[in-house]
Chain A
Amino acid sequence: MADHLLEVRDLSVRFHTVNGMVNAVNGISWHLDRGETLAILGESGSGKSVSASAIMNLIDMPPGEITSGEILFDGQDLLKASEEDRRRLNGKRISMIFQDPLGHLNPVYPVGWQIAETAMAHGRSKTEAYERALQLMERVGIPDAKASMGKYPHEFSGGQRQRLMIAMALVLKPDILIADEPTTALDVTVQAEVLSLLEELQEETGMGLLLITHDLGVVAEAADRAVVMEGGRIVESGTPRDLYHNAQHPYTRKLLAAAPGKGEMREGAQTSAPILEVRDLKKSYGVFDALKGANFDLHAGETLAVVGESGSGKSTIARLMLRLEEASGGTVAWKGEDILTKSPKEMGKLRRQLQMVFQDPTQSLNPHMSVYDIISEAWVIHPDILPKAKWRARVEELLEQVGLQPEHALRYPHQFSGGQRQRIAIARALALEPDLIICDEAVSALDVSIQAQVIALLGELRDRLGIAFIFIAHDLPVVRDFADRVLVMKRGEIVEQGPVRQIFEAPKQGYTQRLLAAGLDSDPDVQAERRHARLALADA
């Protein structure tokens, strides 16, 4: 067998949990060579990160247990090496970066020291370590690197923190860099920049890159080869182009089919007068203007998407409209009446028509209430909707409407998966028979295949019940499939708005163009074109 730089053979890892033994990965094998990028693609629970943890000796044993296999690095089996030998490899020859850079940087030490520590842990002198740290911070594009060395992680933006993590990992020029969902928490434009940086650094150092991701777009953009994981097994492997055009395994096909941004765009026809007119809506926090005067309309049954990067003010709009926060100025006319001047009592009645579904269903559902209580609570607050005798039947009906079973009514939120919980949150919103549902990143936390199901459900409800949606999202492909009209926001301002086709096919503003070019497409060929477009825009 040909020798590879890193080879995982027949690896099985299981975890002892309160519910018995869980096999995290089952006899998986893959390899990585110098200068190559291998992607491990999978959804949550697929075991895609487990082999990386095993390589880095990060699996706690117990509860974890490696039951079979070997991990060959430079011909040496890591699983047979001593703890000390493995520590010497970590950070020096094999490095790793993670999804959430804020959590993965130590909050109480300056970043310069944290980067230098990698070198010092492997016997470099303090002077040399700090010199390398400064060089790398400059290389990864931290502005004013010298002064930034003394700053703390919370003083940087999300993208900068991930750059710092990369600097920390590359101080000693490792042979292999493992990146576990390195861009998942980042805005699209930042994601594109970080992926480009990784690629440049790979060309400079010739390191092998292992990219763990759930995102087909990342695979299409960055990987030379990919393995697809499901339920702890590798179901398929190949080049991104092979996988995209010739997927053999049903799971791979399902993933590809679920990838958003490939469907028909909607041609929204505005016939009626608007039900919602927002004029010059503003919000300031002290000297910071979160929203600098938003103007837009919404028609009955229409879906308006609000897109933008973090800090663009898109969630602020929703919070102001529902009076979860008080606006600093402007009007929000709902069916001709200004919401912002309503008394708390009048507002309470109005809330019935305006409902919201949040990003994280785990946090937005009370864990101590059964599904029945969660859904029927709405009728306790608005008793005129439904007599109590009919509650049970209506809860069951709603559960069926969102694709759950009537008997789920007696269960509690923790007994459901993430996608099911979001369905419960939707059922709760529907219980009040609203005219408008605001979805604030309602599908962002869900796996791609689950996301597709929830979007399909929302689309069905829209068509059947004629509900209008304000759909706040950072994920452009989802918006492309679901929205009638799109608002593009940047730093508290609406930079462009129009029908979905116009925004996606003929964007007028430079910012919209950059945003679209930064988005990753699951088709490697489309993605290659988009990449050229992105680089051209960057040069221009």
Chain B
Amino acid sequence: MKKMLGKRAVSSFVSLMVLIVLVFFLSRLTGDPAALYLPVDASEAMRENFREIHGLNDPVLVQFGRYLSDLVQLDFGDSLRKARPAIDVVLESFVWTLQLALITMALVTVAAIIVGSIAAFNVGRPFDRFASVLSLIGASAPDFWIAIVGIVLFSVNFGWLPTSGTGTVWHWILPICVLFIRPFGLILQIVRGSMINALGSPYVKTARAKGVKNRPVIFVHTLRNAMLPVITVIGDQAAALLNGAVVVETIFGFPGVGKLMIDSILQRDFNVILAAIMVTAIAIFIMNILIDIAYALLDPRIRA
């Protein structure tokens, strides 16, 4: 298991390095950073001054070295708009996104496993049909549309929930519900298929031939095996949420990392963008390792 984790850590680390290099050169390839950072109507003197201050006149490799050493110290420079270290701004938003993602994924996982399993026990019956249609709609409905419909219905018409912001518990309900739908639909389908497979597997037959009671047949023998393919999908979906649910965060004015990125792009706050990319990349890197650990804990064949 240690060996496998070591391997995975190395390969994730390599992809992180590639990302770091790519980000640097892409930001240089897209043109003069001075043009990117400064307003369109900035004077040539201002630009030159900007280049001088930020060392943009140095050779590219020297700049790259400086960029790397800054990265190691998690120093991304200051946010141009907020006059605070970019990393602080990003981490602040990231905590919001992290909470939103974790709560949503926890709910999704529990709900999808329960509904998917019940569907699998009742293949072809009305509950199963209903769950399948539900999951198909969930997996294919565009979240911006659901978000807007949600606001119109529950905030505007009924006035039950706030439209945006984060002040109270009520503020969380709509964003979580909207983010819940797509991964729920997807994971429900995987759970159902995987459960049907496991229920029909030879080892379940063995368990029944041994006289094992129904409950342990399902919860001990079937569920753990059925979870193996599900975990991977949960990981993917959680990673997508950690990246910042850009659309949903923007619509609900939720101060997460997705909204921060969009705002920073519009405001040309390049340091913040860079910091946000790095923080989410590291988060996904950690996420993947957690998924690998969970997988190895569930399946002894992986541990070798």
Q: List A residues at the B interface (Cβ < 8 Å).
A: 56-58, 87-92, 95-96, 98, 100, 103-110, 117-118, 121-122, 152, 154, 165, 168-169
How many whole Å from A17's CB to the nearest CB in chain B? 14
Asked whether B209 is an interface residue with its Cβ less than 8 Å from the other chain, the reply is yes
How many whole Å from A110's CB to the nearest CB in chain B? 8
Asked whether B224 is an interface residue with its Cβ less than 8 Å from the other chain, the reply is yes
How many whole Å from A449's CB to the nearest CB in chain B? 27
Known interface pairs A107-B300, A108-B299; A58-B205 also in contact (CB < 8 Å): yes
Known interface pairs A103-B202, A106-B203; A117-B212 also in contact (CB < 8 Å): yes
Contact indicator B213/A121 (Cβ below 8 Å): yes
Asked whether B109 is an interface residue with its Cβ less than 8 Å from the other chain, the reply is no
Contact indicator B210/A90 (Cβ below 8 Å): yes
> What are some 14 contacts across the A-B interface (CB < 8 A)?
A87-B208, A90-B208, A91-B212, A92-B211, A96-B209, A100-B202, A106-B203, A106-B225, A107-B203, A110-B300, A117-B210, A168-B206, A168-B210, A169-B209
Partner of B225, one of A88, A89, A104, A108: A108
Question: Chain B contact residues: over half helix, strand or loop, or mixed?
Answer: helix
A61 to B236, CA, bound (A): 38
A91 to B212, CA, bound (A): 8
Q: Which residues of B contact A103 (CB under 8 A)?
A: 201-203
Known interface pairs A98-B206, A104-B206; A122-B211 also in contact (CB < 8 Å): yes
Closest to A100 in B: B202
A106 to B298, CA, bound (A): 12
A110 to B299, CA, bound (A): 11
Inter-chain contact total with CB atoms closer than 8 Å: 74
Asked whether B221 is an interface residue with its Cβ less than 8 Å from the other chain, the reply is yes
Contact indicator B210/A108 (Cβ below 8 Å): no
Closest to B228 in A: A108
How many whole Å from A495's CB to the nearest CB in chain B? 31
Asked whether B301 is an interface residue with its Cβ less than 8 Å from the other chain, the reply is yes
Asked whether B287 is an interface residue with its Cβ less than 8 Å from the other chain, the reply is no
How many whole Å from A66's CB to the nearest CB in chain B? 17
How many whole Å from A2's CB to the nearest CB in chain B? 28
Known interface pairs A98-B205, A100-B202, A154-B301; A106-B221 also in contact (CB < 8 Å): yes
Contact indicator B205/A106 (Cβ below 8 Å): no
A103 to B213, CA, bound (A): 20
Partner of A104, one of B202, B224, B298, B300: B202
Q: Which residues of A contact B211 (CB under 8 A)?
A: 87-92, 118, 121-122
Known interface pairs A103-B201, A106-B225, A108-B300; A121-B210 also in contact (CB < 8 Å): yes
A87 to B225, CA, bound (A): 23
Partner of A107, one of B210, B213, B299: B299
